[in-house]
């Protein structure tokens, strides 16, 4: 059982907000990101520990094994992604794909933190999931200074 990628076999409850199926050209990248998220869950113990500390308490492994969670595409939103907090729908935007596959992966793990109850607004836990997944440096978090060569951005809240 795995989290599912919408390739036209799912109608999101947020379809009218732009949560739609991935076009052919992005499917391989999206599958790579999902595979890599599984790799992180298996090989970076800090990731599961971090996700278990979130409000809904599910590990990254548990989230990735939940086939009720759908990854949708969003063609126009100005940010990288979005998710229903404690829900089952998330979206990754064209903007994330334009930057590249590591940004797609970072967006996936960020949005999964929201699915696990991480709040938006001024809260920084969703983006700290990116750090816990090994895609940033603790020094970025400590200083608040972004290293543009890592996907983690300490300046991102919500
Ligand atoms: Zn967020």
Tens of pLDDT, residues 99-112: 999 999 999 999 99
β-pair type (81-83, 70-74): unpaired
Per-residue pLDDT at 153: 96
Residue 151 lies in a domain: no
- 66 CA → ligand 1 middle, Å: 20
Residue 129 lies in a domain: yes
**Nearest CA-CA partner of 46 in 107, 134, 125, 110:** 134
- 111 CA → ligand 1 middle, Å: 6
| Residues 122-142 pLDDT 10s | 999 999 999 999 999 999 999
- 28 CA → ligand 1 middle, Å: 24
Per-residue pLDDT at 127: 98
Residue 155 lies in a domain: no
Per-residue pLDDT at 143: 97
Residue 70 lies in a domain: yes
Per-residue pLDDT at 26: 98
Q: Return d(Cα 15, Cα 4) in angstroms, integer.
A: 16
- 122 CA → ligand 1 middle, Å: 10
Q: What is the 3-state secondary structure (H, E, C) of 91-115?
A: EEEHHHHHHCHHHHHHHHHHHHHHH
Per-residue pLDDT at 24: 98
Residue 154 lies in a domain: no
Residue 77 lies in a domain: yes
Whole-prediction pTM: 0.97
- 31 CA → ligand 1 middle, Å: 21
Question: What CATH number is associated with residue 136?
Answer: 3.30.2010.10
Residue 152 lies in a domain: no
- 91 CA → ligand 1 middle, Å: 11
State the residue range of the domain holding 22: 4-143
| Residues 38-68 pLDDT 10s | 999 999 999 999 999 999 999 999 999 999 9
Average pLDDT across the chain, whole number: 97
Number of separate domains in the chain: 1
- 93 CA → ligand 1 middle, Å: 13
| Residues 62-98 pLDDT 10s | 999 999 999 999 999 999 999 999 999 999 999 999 9
Per-residue pLDDT at 11: 98
Residue 108 lies in a domain: yes
Q: Return d(Cα 22, Cα 75) in angstroms, integer.
A: 9
β-pair type (81-83, 89-93): antiparallel
CA 84 to chain centre: 12
- 117 CA → ligand 1 middle, Å: 11
> Which neighbouring-strand residues pair with 72?
91
- 127 CA → ligand 1 middle, Å: 7
Q: Return d(Cα 96, Cα 82) in angstroms, integer.
A: 11
CA 9 to chain centre: 21
- 130 CA → ligand 1 middle, Å: 11
Per-residue pLDDT at 100: 97
Please report, rounded to a whole number, the percentage of residues in the chain having pLDDT higher than 90.
100
């Amino acid at each position: 059982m795995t989290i599912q990628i919408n390739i036209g076999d799912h109608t999101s409850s947020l379809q009218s907000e732009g949560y739609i199926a991935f076009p052919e050209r992005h499917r391989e990248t999206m599958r790579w990101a999902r595979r890599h998220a599984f790799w992180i869950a298996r090989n970076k113990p800090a990731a599961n520990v971090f996700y278990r500390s979130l409000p809904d308490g599910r590990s990254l492994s548990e989230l990735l094994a939940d086939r009720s969670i759908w990854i949708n595409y969003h063609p126009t939103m100005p940010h990288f992604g979005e998710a229903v907090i404690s829900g089952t729908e998330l979206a990754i935007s064209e903007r994330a794909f334009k930057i590249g596959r590591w940004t797609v992966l970072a967006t996936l793990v960020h949005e999964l933190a929201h699915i696990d109850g991480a709040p938006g607004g001024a809260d920084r836990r969703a983006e700290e999931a990116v750090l816990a997944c090994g895609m940033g440096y603790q020094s970025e978090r400590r200083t608040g200074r972004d290293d543009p060569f890592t996907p983690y951005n300490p300046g991102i809240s919500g």
